[in-house]
A and B are shown apart, each in its own frame.
Chain A
Amino acid sequence: MTKPKKRINEILYFALKNKRLRVGLIVVLFFLILAFVGPLLTHYQWDAYVGPAYHPPSYEYWFGTTTFGQDVFTQFILGLKASFLVGIIGGGIGTLIGVLVGFTAGYHGGMIDEFLNMLTNIVIVIPTLAILLIISVYLKVRGVLIESIFIGFTAWPWAARAIRAQTFSLRSRDFVDLARISGIKPLKIMFTEIAPNMMSYLLMTFILQFGGAILIAATLDFIGLGPTNAISLGLMMNLAVLWGALPLGMWWWFVPPGAAIAAIVGALYLTNVGLDEVFNPKLRKL
């Protein structure tokens, strides 16, 4: 093993040199800052009728107004915030469950692995959306938080698969054997020996779950199963389609929310490729 400090320096060195990572992070940071600074730039309520209807972008209404005269920029900023919330909570829960299931299955093997693997396969096959659909229909009042939690609880299987495979290969290494022989408890081995060696992998899993959660939430919101008491980017597109933004040519209503999602999720994926190149010397190009 190389000395940890030297390794961290080396990773930072390659991280700063990696163009994909830099571009990805800058885009994500831009939207993150916009989501938190944005509310200061607007003095409207997202659902208040504040101006003329069908108004294209102007000095007064940066992103124009809706069919009813609501300010699109205000909706956009709040929707952005909701998306990040879903990403962090939904992606976080998804990663956590995936890690726990994957670790346990990969570390113990045998019957426990069999069982968890079967569970994973079942959850993979049942379409997430179908479950969320059923749940959402019967829950009358839904917030962003509830939505994120449900997304997290259905999005973990592929993370579990990836982590399981990784744990399998790690647990047969010397340092894990050494810990096992010296009688350290499995849970402790997982967190002290295996987890640090998988940190890079965990980070990348989280990033993918983060992006996935945002996309799922947008889909859910778009068919009217999202939050009932708040605005989101998916809901904006839903309203735009519902209230004739397409035939009326109100592009300012439906272009920004989708573009923001595509940019954020795309940048997250790009960050991931960059990180992969940083952590995996084989992929580094010269």
Chain B
Amino acid sequence: MSLKVKNLKVYYQTLRGDVKALDGATFTIEDGEIMGLAGESGCGKSTLSNSLILLKPPMRFVEGRVELDNEELPIWDMEKMNHFRFKKISTIPQYAMNAMNPIRKIGKMVSEILKSKKVDYKSTLPELKRRLDLVELSHDVLNMYPIELSGGMKQRMVMVLSTLMNPSLLMADEITSALDVSTQKAVAKMLVEFRNRELVKKLMVITHDISILYQIADSIMIMYAGKLAEKAPTSVIINSPRHPYTKLLISSLPDIGVKYSQRKLTGIPGKPPLLLDPPTGCRFRERCPVAFQKCLNEEPPFMEIKKGHFIACWKEFEKNA
């Protein structure tokens, strides 16, 4: 069983035209896999994760096919997707700290959500309490309002709620960015624990922080300007990346643990192209040290050059050929 995304295109509608934030993504996540998704801000990684679960205006579905465990997800249909959300596919959002209704007791909120999904709260309660134990939260939180919890506690509560129905796919969007280092580690470990206990089958972890991915991810996918650049097992991405962008990205991190969003990517001169009207050919070519004629005219496909190692770069294809 797996998540299969084929040529997914999701644009942002603006008054000046479509911003091609996600322009054709094809990849697979297998059961048991934790896939890290990384790239500069604005590269489309949040668009990708959002479009899988909550695709609504100004986002616009253009084309593509998403299959989860051999079933097609109707991601373009807000209503039909409700059938899959929470039970099959779930998310720990970037804004987990503010994700809970401030004026409802947490237990009541959980029960109302469950009820709306036709799940019995009473019979779910024992499992809910087990999950709270798992993330080291007291059962009392159910009788509290979100404002009574610390940021880390709120995040863990959201983790528990989001995964309560054992979804097949869980997306975690920048969940560590607002936390201090030790809490970051604990949260990351919990994600792995969730996977190990098969509470979730596969994970997509979106982050700015490659060091977190290094610790927990089985594979890492790099995005650039709305396109997939490279996907490979974690050790390959860290130790022997092939795409020039990945190489620059990894080498620009002096030590694992520095968030590259906070550094100005000094190693890579230039800026990503505007996605309102992206140039033809390879989107990285203007900043690429090895670009040549072909990169100007033709867009490189995202191809598997070794088992489990995908890449979109003409130069590397040439080398491989």
A contacts, CB < 8 Å to B: 13-14, 17, 284, 286
Chain A nearest CB: distance from B120 CB in Å?
Answer: 37
- Could you tell me the dominant secondary structure of chain A's interface residues? helix
Chain A nearest CB: distance from B265 CB in Å?
Answer: 19
Task: Report the bound CA distance from A17 to B13 in whole Å.
Answer: 16
Chain A nearest CB: distance from B272 CB in Å?
Answer: 16
Task: Report the bound CA distance from A279 to B136 in whole Å.
Answer: 44
Residue numbers in B under 8 Å from A286 (CB-CB): 13-15, 57-58
Chain B nearest CB: distance from A207 CB in Å?
Answer: 24
Across the interface, A14 reaches (CB within 8 A) one of B13, B15, B57, B58, namely B15
B contacts, CB < 8 Å to A: 13-15, 57-58
Can you identify 9 A-B contacts, CB atoms within 8 angstroms?
Answer: A13-B15, A14-B15, A17-B15, A284-B15, A286-B13, A286-B14, A286-B15, A286-B57, A286-B58
Residue numbers in A under 8 Å from B58 (CB-CB): 286
Task: Report the bound CA distance from A286 to B15 in whole Å.
Answer: 7
Task: Report the bound CA distance from A284 to B58 in whole Å.
Answer: 10
Residue numbers in B under 8 Å from A284 (CB-CB): 15
Besides the contacts A13-B15, A286-B13, A286-B15, what 6 more A-B pairs have beta carbons closer than 8 Å? A14-B15, A17-B15, A284-B15, A286-B14, A286-B57, A286-B58
Residue numbers in A under 8 Å from B13 (CB-CB): 286
Chain A nearest CB: distance from B186 CB in Å?
Answer: 27
Task: Report the bound CA distance from A286 to B14 in whole Å.
Answer: 7
Task: Report the bound CA distance from A14 to B15 in whole Å.
Answer: 9
Chain B nearest CB: distance from A286 CB in Å?
Answer: 5
Task: Report the bound CA distance from A284 to B57 in whole Å.
Answer: 11
Chain B nearest CB: distance from A191 CB in Å?
Answer: 31
Task: Report the bound CA distance from A284 to B12 in whole Å.
Answer: 14
- Residue of A whose beta carbon sits closest to that of B58: A286
- Residue of B whose beta carbon sits closest to that of A13: B15
Residue numbers in A under 8 Å from B14 (CB-CB): 286
Task: Report the bound CA distance from A17 to B15 in whole Å.
Answer: 10
Residue numbers in A under 8 Å from B57 (CB-CB): 286
Chain A nearest CB: distance from B72 CB in Å?
Answer: 27
Residue numbers in B under 8 Å from A13 (CB-CB): 15
Task: Report the bound CA distance from A172 to B13 in whole Å.
Answer: 32
Chain B nearest CB: distance from A285 CB in Å?
Answer: 9
- Residue of B whose beta carbon sits closest to that of A17: B15
Chain B nearest CB: distance from A180 CB in Å?
Answer: 21
Residue numbers in A under 8 Å from B15 (CB-CB): 13-14, 17, 284, 286
Which of A13, A14, A17, A286 lies at the interface centre, i.e. has the most chain B CB atoms within 10 A of its CB? A286
Task: Report the bound CA distance from A17 to B16 in whole Å.
Answer: 12
Task: Report the bound CA distance from A27 to B280 in whole Å.
Answer: 48
Residue numbers in B under 8 Å from A14 (CB-CB): 15
Chain B nearest CB: distance from A22 CB in Å?
Answer: 16
Chain B nearest CB: distance from A215 CB in Å?
Answer: 33
List 9 A-B pairs, minimum CB-CB distance, nearest first: A286-B13, A286-B58, A286-B57, A286-B15, A17-B15, A14-B15, A286-B14, A284-B15, A13-B15
Chain B nearest CB: distance from A85 CB in Å?
Answer: 38
Chain B nearest CB: distance from A133 CB in Å?
Answer: 39
Residue numbers in B under 8 Å from A17 (CB-CB): 15
